[in-house]
Structure 1
Amino acid sequence: MKKNRIQIFDTTLRDGEQVPGCKLNTKEKVRIAKKLEVLGVDVIEAGFPTSSPGDYKSVQEICKSISQTVVCALSRAIEKDIEMAGLALKYAKRPRIHTGIGTSNCHIRYKFNSTPEKIIEQAVYAVKYAKKYVEDVEFYAEDAGRTENEFLAKVCENVIKHGATVINIPDTTGYCLPEEYGSKIHFLKENVKGIHKIILSTHCHNDLGLATANSLAGIINGAEQVECTINGIGERAGNTSLEEIVMIIKQNSHLNLFTNINTKLISSTSYLVSECTGMKVQANKAIVGINAFSHSSGIHQDGIIKKRETYESINPEDVGINQSSIVLTARSGRAALAYRYKKLGYFLNKNSLDLIYSIFLKYADKKKEITDMELKIILKKANLNGKNNKILHTNTNSSSRRINVV
C-alpha cells in the first residue's frame, strides 16, 4: 500500500515562543529557522507580525534566509493583521498567511459578542483579503475542539469556496479526547464539500497531556498536516511535540504514513531550541530528554546490554544520539558494572567482578550516580585489599586490561 506523506508545520517560533519567560531575538529566530529547514519541516510559522515591530522584522529576516520551506505568518481575521502579515512575507519564496477566527459557542458569544452568521462572514472576508497578498492561505477555526461539528463543517465549506488552501482544526484548550478529535476530523472529511481540494491540519494543545495522541488520531482519520513545536513548547502546557509525532510515524510502518523529517537531526535541533529559548527539556521527556535512552535498573541494563531492543523501541542513533547510557546506581547489577568497566578498558572475570561489586554497592548507596572517576577509585580500593590473598593483577592485552583475582 502506498504511504501518505504527513506535512510537518513547525510553530516553535510563533506558538512555541508564547511560553512565559521565553523570548527570542531576530538573530536567534533566523538561526532556528535555518535549522528547521535543514531538519526537513514543510512549513515554518515564523511569527505574528502585527504583534510587535520585533516580530515583524523577524518574519522578514526569516523570509530572506529560507529558500525551500514555506514561511507562514499568523494573523487574526482583521484587515490590519492580514496587511502586516502580507508585507512581512514580501521576501518569502513560498509565503503563506495563516488567518482565522474562533468558532466555538464560547468564543462567538463571550470573546466576540457575535453570531454564527457574522463569524462565517468575517472568516470568508479574511480569506478573500489574504488572497490579495498570497496564494497559499491557511484558515484556523480557533477552539474547533469545542465547536459543534455541523457548524464547523459549514465554516470550512465557506472558506474553501473562497480560496483557503489549508484548514487548521485546533484543539485550542487541549479539551478533546483522541477518539473525539479523530471523529471530528473524520466528520469533516466526510461532510465538507471540497475538502479533498485542501490540506486538513491538526493543531493540538497539551493541557491534559493529550496533544500528541490527538494529533495522531487526527492523521489516522485523514488530516494531512500536523502543527507542532520542538520539545513540545508552547502556550500553557505546550503543543504537540514534533519529535514525538514524527517518531511515532517512523516507528509504526503499519500506519502507511511518512514525513520528510531527517530524524537524525532531532537531538541537535532540540538542543538548539532549548539553548536559545532558555527552556530546559525535562529529563524524562520522550525522545529528547536526557533520560530517554538512559537505564539505571539492573534488570533493564542487563537486557539492553544483551540486545538493545529489549527495553528500547527507538534506536537512539535514529534521533542523533550515539548510544544508550548505562547509568550506575544502587539499583545497577553486575552486568552493568562489568559493561561500564569494559568501556574504560577493563575486562573483569567473575571473581574480580564479585569483589568490586561489593565495594561498588557501598559507594552507590551514598550517591545518586557513580561516575567513571569513581569507578577507577573503586578499582584502586579493590587492588589494595590483600585480605585472604585476594590481590588484583592487571595484564595488558592489546589496548585493554584484563583483571583477574588470584
Structure 2
Amino acid sequence: MADGKVYIFDTTLRDGEQVPGCKLNTKEKIELALALESLGVDIIEAGFPISSPGDFESVNQIARVMKETTVCGLTRAVQKDIEVAAEALKPARRPRIHTGIGTSDYHIKAKFNSTREEIIERAVQAVKWAKNFVDDVEFYAEDAGRTDNDYLARVIEAVIKAGATVVNIPDTTGYCLPHQYGEKIAYLINNVPNIDKAIISCHCHNDLGLATANSISGVLNGARQIECTINGLGERAGNTSLEEVVMILRQHANLGYYTDVNTRQLNPLSRLVSDTMRMPVQANKAIVGSNAFSHSSGIHQDGFLKDSQTYEIIAPEEVGADGSKIVLTARSGRSALAHRFQKIGYQYTRNDIDVLYANFLQIADTKKEVEDTDLHAMAKAYEATAVAN
C-alpha cells in the first residue's frame, strides 16, 4: 500500500439508502454502482444482503458487473448474516464482507445485555466465519467513538489476529470532536501491536456537523480509508461527504495524501444521486451545491472578477460544475453590474454604469435576484432616455 493513498469506501447504496424516502430498486442501484466505479471509488458497499430479498439481489447483481471495484456486503456478527452475504458476493472479482458489533458500554449493556469479554469473543468469531468465504474482511466496532480506547484496542488487536484486513472505527453517533477522533486513531496506531496488518477506516456520522472534519483528522493520525457517501447522505444527519473529503485531500496535496477519484465527475454524479434518490442537495452544500460557485456580495464580486482565486480555491471545472456565477442582488456592486451587462451584449462606460446602478438598486431592493430580463429592460429604458436627450 502506497503510504499516501487514501481508499474511498462509498456507502451511498447502503448507509445513504437508509435515509427515509431514498429506497432504491436493483436497477437504480446498478446504475449508481457503475457511476461510482467510473468515479474511481475503491470499495462500494452495495447493501445489507440478509435484510431483504431485494437487497440480496442488488448486491449480487452489482457483484456481477463491477470490473475493478471491491464490492462489499454488510452483516451483523451473526453466522447466517455472513453466509448470506458470502452467497450474494459470489460473482464479485473483489468481494469483501463487512461484519462487526457494538463495542461501547452503551451497546454492550443496553443493546446486547452482555459483557466486554463476550463481545470480543463474538467479534473474533464473526471475523473467522467471514474468513471462511473471503480473504478481505472488514470489521466494524460500532459506536467506537464512545468506546473506551483501551478496550477498543483490545478488540481491534483480537479481530486482526482473527484475520480482519480492515478495521472500521465508526463515530456512529457523530459524538467526537476532531481532536478526540484523531487521538483515538493515534491510540490504536500506538497501542495495537498488529495494527500494521490492517487498514484503519473512518466511518463518521454528521450529527454535530463534524463528519468530514473527523474523517480528515483520522487520516492525519494514520487511517487510510474513509467511508463516505455522495452528497453526505446517510442515517439521521448523514455521513461523511465523499466530495468534501476528496477535495480537502486534493486541495491540501502538500500533506501527501491522495485518492483515485476523478473529481470532474463529482457534480454530475451528485446530480444523478440526487435525482435517483429523490433527495435535493442544499444550495450551500460544499463542492456540489448550486451556490458553491456563486458570488453575490459586491466586495466578493469585484475581487473575483479581478482574479478568481481571490474568492474561489477550487475551479468549477475541476469538480464538474457548470461554472462560476455572478448573482445580482442589492449587495452587488458596479463591477458586477458592468460584467453582467457585458455578458448579455451591452458595452457601457463607467459613467453609464454609475447612472444605471442607481436604477439597479431600486429594482434589486424589490426582489431576491436581478435577472437578465431586468437588465434588458433597464438598458432599453436607459438608451431611450439617452436618445431623447
Establish whether TM, by shorter chain, passes 0.5. yes
State the secondary structure of the residue aligned to 1:140. Answer: strand
Between 263-272 and 377-386, report the one with greater CA deviation: 377-386
Give every structure 1 segment of 4 or more consecutive aligned residues whose post-TM-superposition deviation is greater than 4 Å. none
1:70 aligned partner: 70
What are the within-5 Å matches in structure 2 for residues 245-394 of structure 1?
Answer: 245-386=245-386, 389=389
2:186 aligned partner: 186
Pairing 1:161–2:161 present = yes
| In structure 1, C-alpha distance between the alignment counterparts of 2:315 and 2:361, rounded to whole Å | 30
- Following superposition, the deviation at residue 314 of structure 1 comes to 1.4
Between 32-41 and 357-366, report the one with greater CA deviation: 357-366
What are the within-5 Å matches in structure 2 for residues 55-134 of structure 1?
Answer: 55-134=55-134
| In structure 2, C-alpha distance between the alignment counterparts of 1:139 and 1:382, rounded to whole Å | 69
- Following superposition, the deviation at residue 3 of structure 1 comes to 6.2
- Amino acid paired to 2:30: V
State the secondary structure of the residue aligned to 1:348. Answer: coil
| In structure 2, C-alpha distance between the alignment counterparts of 1:320 and 1:290, rounded to whole Å | 12
Pairing 1:148–2:148 present = yes
- Following superposition, the deviation at residue 323 of structure 1 comes to 2.0
| In structure 2, C-alpha distance between the alignment counterparts of 1:377 and 1:72, rounded to whole Å | 58
- Amino acid paired to 1:284: N
Task: Answer whether contact 2:293 2:325 (CA < 8 A) is retained.
Answer: yes
Q: Which has the larger radius of gyration?
A: 1
Task: Answer whether contact 1:232 1:238 (CA < 8 A) is retained.
Answer: yes
| In structure 2, C-alpha distance between the alignment counterparts of 1:262 and 1:162, rounded to whole Å | 35
Residues 258-310 of structure 1, C-alpha deviation per residue, up to 9 Å, x if partnerless?
A: 01011111000110110011111111111111111101111100110000111
| In structure 1, C-alpha distance between the alignment counterparts of 2:350 and 2:168, rounded to whole Å | 61
| In structure 2, C-alpha distance between the alignment counterparts of 1:96 and 1:201, rounded to whole Å | 14
Pairing 1:21–2:16 present = no
| In structure 2, C-alpha distance between the alignment counterparts of 1:366 and 1:39, rounded to whole Å | 43
Q: TM-score, normalization: structure 1?
A: 0.94
1:42 aligned partner: 42
| In structure 2, C-alpha distance between the alignment counterparts of 1:198 and 1:35, rounded to whole Å | 28
- Following superposition, the deviation at residue 254 of structure 1 comes to 2.3
1:242 aligned partner: 242
State the secondary structure of the residue aligned to 1:92. Answer: coil
- Amino acid paired to 1:241: S
| In structure 2, C-alpha distance between the alignment counterparts of 1:378 and 1:181, rounded to whole Å | 56
Between 71-80 and 310-319, report the one with greater CA deviation: 310-319
2:176 aligned partner: 176
Q: TM-score, normalization: structure 2?
A: 0.98
Task: Answer whether contact 2:23 2:277 (CA < 8 A) is retained.
Answer: yes
| In structure 2, C-alpha distance between the alignment counterparts of 1:386 and 1:33, rounded to whole Å | 60
| In structure 1, C-alpha distance between the alignment counterparts of 2:347 and 2:30, rounded to whole Å | 49
Task: Answer whether contact 2:298 2:331 (CA < 8 A) is retained.
Answer: yes
| In structure 2, C-alpha distance between the alignment counterparts of 1:3 and 1:123, rounded to whole Å | 28
- Amino acid paired to 2:31: R
**What is the root-mean-square deviation of aligned Cα atoms in Å?**
1.2
State the secondary structure of the residue aligned to 1:370. Answer: coil
- Amino acid paired to 1:233: L
Between 201-210 and 310-319, report the one with greater CA deviation: 310-319
| In structure 2, C-alpha distance between the alignment counterparts of 1:341 and 1:68, rounded to whole Å | 49
**Sequence identity percentage:** 63
Task: Answer whether contact 1:3 1:258 (CA < 8 A) is retained.
Answer: no
Task: Answer whether contact 2:294 2:324 (CA < 8 A) is retained.
Answer: yes
- Amino acid paired to 1:367: K
| In structure 2, C-alpha distance between the alignment counterparts of 1:113 and 1:358, rounded to whole Å | 71
Residues 234-277 of structure 1, C-alpha deviation per residue, up to 9 Å, x if partnerless?
A: 00000100011111000012211001011111000110110011
2:225 aligned partner: 225
- Following superposition, the deviation at residue 356 of structure 1 comes to 2.0
- Following superposition, the deviation at residue 359 of structure 1 comes to 2.0
State the secondary structure of the residue aligned to 2:286. Answer: coil
Task: Answer whether contact 2:288 2:321 (CA < 8 A) is retained.
Answer: no
Pairing 1:11–2:14 present = no
Task: Answer whether contact 1:359 1:382 (CA < 8 A) is retained.
Answer: no
- Following superposition, the deviation at residue 91 of structure 1 comes to 0.9
Between 315-324 and 145-154, report the one with greater CA deviation: 315-324
- Amino acid paired to 2:67: S
| In structure 1, C-alpha distance between the alignment counterparts of 2:145 and 2:88, rounded to whole Å | 30
| In structure 1, C-alpha distance between the alignment counterparts of 2:370 and 2:30, rounded to whole Å | 40
- Following superposition, the deviation at residue 388 of structure 1 comes to 7.6
- Amino acid paired to 1:292: A
State the secondary structure of the residue aligned to 2:287. Answer: coil
Residues 19-49 of structure 1, C-alpha deviation per residue, up to 9 Å, x if partnerless?
A: 1121111111111111100100000000001
State the secondary structure of the residue aligned to 2:347. Answer: strand
Task: Answer whether contact 1:267 1:288 (CA < 8 A) is retained.
Answer: yes
Q: Where does structure 1 lack aligned partners over 5 or more consecutive residues? A: 390-406
- Following superposition, the deviation at residue 386 of structure 1 comes to 4.3
Pairing 1:31–2:37 present = no
Residues 324-358 of structure 1, C-alpha deviation per residue, up to 9 Å, x if partnerless?
A: 11001111111001111121122211122122222
